[in-house]
Amino acid sequence: MTDNTTTTSRARPRINGAAIGYFAQQYGVLIIIVALLIGLSFASDSFFTARNLLNILNQSAPLAIIACALTLVIIGGGFDLSTGAIFGVASVSAGWLAVNVDPYIGIIAGPLIGLMLGAINGIIITGFGVHSFLVTLATSLVYRGVAILITGGALIPVRIPEFSWLGRERIGMVNVAVIVLAIFMIAMMFLLNRTTFGRKVFAVGGNEEAAILSGIRTNLVKIMTFCLTGGAAGLAGVISVSRISMAEPQAGVGMELEAIAAVILGGTSIMGGSGAVWRSVSGVLLIALIGNGFNILNVNPFFKDLTTGVIIVIAVALAASASRR
C-alpha cells in the first residue's frame, strides 16, 4: 500500500506557489502580450493588420537591440544606465562621419564607438571596484556632454541614400531594421545559451565569489558584457539616424530606463544569474503594444504611462517572489 501511494504521489504533477511563480516569471510576458493582441484586435479594426504589426516591430527595433545585449549585463550582475547616452554619442558620430567622410564609414563607426564607450564602462567598474549603477550614471552624463560637443548642440541632417537604407529600406514587407534585430537577437541567444562565455555570464551573476574560485576571469566577463551593450546602443543609434535622416545630441534620452524596464518585464532577475534574451525582446514588444494600442484608441498618454508602470511593478513583484522561493 505504501508503494502504491508513493507511485501515485510521484505521478501527479505538483502545482504550488513556487511552480506558479516560476511559470509567471518564464511566460507571464507572453500571456500578457497574447491578451493585449486579442483585446486590441476587438477594440480596433486597424490594429491586427500586417502593416501595423510590422510597423510596431520596426519602431521597436532599436530599443529591442539594446535590450538584447543589456540582458547579458543584468544576468552578469551589472546595471547600465549609460545606454541612452551611448546611443546619442553614436548617433551624432555616425551622422557627422556620414556627412563629412563617407556614409558607410558612418554606419560602421556607430557600433564601434558604442563598443568602445561600453569598454570604458566595464574597465572603470572592474578596475576601481565601483558598483556599475554609480559608474554608468556618471559616464552617462559625460557621454551626453560629448554628444553635445560633437554637434555644438545643433542637429545634423543626414539625407544620404547610402546611409538611410538601414533604417528605411525593406526586403519584401519587412524593414531591414527588423531583419537586423532578428539576426542580433539570435546571435545574443546563441552567445548566452550555447557558448562557454554565456555559461560564465550566468556563473558570475549567480555567485561571483564561486565563479572566481572556479577560475573564471570575472572582470573580463563583465567588461565584455558592457562592450556588447555599448555596441548594441551604437548600432541602435545608427538605425535611428538612418530612419529619421537626422542626428541629434539629445537622442536616446530615457531610452536606458525603457530598456531596463523591458528586460525586467521579460523576467530577467535584477539580482543576476537568470534571464533570457527572447523574454527581454518580448518585454520591448509589450511596451510597444501598450503604446500602439493607446494611440489607436486615442487614450490619454497619462494612462499609457500609468498602465506600463503598473505592469512593471507587477513583473518586479513576481520576479522577487519567485526568487525568494
What pLDDT sits at residue 192?
96
The pLDDT of residue 147 is above 70: yes
Give residue-wise pLDDT tens across range 192-251. 999 999 999 999 999 999 999 999 999 999 999 999 999 999 999 999 999 999 999 889
Please tell me the predicted confidence (pLDDT) of residue 12: 56
Confidence of residue 319 (pLDDT cuts 50, 70, 90): low
Q: How crowded is the C-beta side of 265, counted as CA atoms within 13 Å?
A: 30
Rounded to 5 degrees, φ, ψ at 246 are -155, 130
Read off the pLDDT of each residue in 131-141 and give the average, rounded to a whole number.
95
Query: Does pLDDT of 8 surpass 50?
Result: no
Query: How confident is the model over 266-285, as pLDDT tens digits?
Result: 888 888 888 999 999 999 99
Mean pLDDT, all residues of the chain: 88
Residue with cell 544620404: 160
- Rounded to whole angstroms, the Cα distance separating 9 from 16 reads 14
Integer Cα distance of 281 and 107 in angstroms:
23
What is 48-323's CATH topology? Answer: ABC transporter involved in vitamin B12 uptake, BtuC (1.10.3470)
Q: What percent of the chain has pLDDT over 90?
A: 65
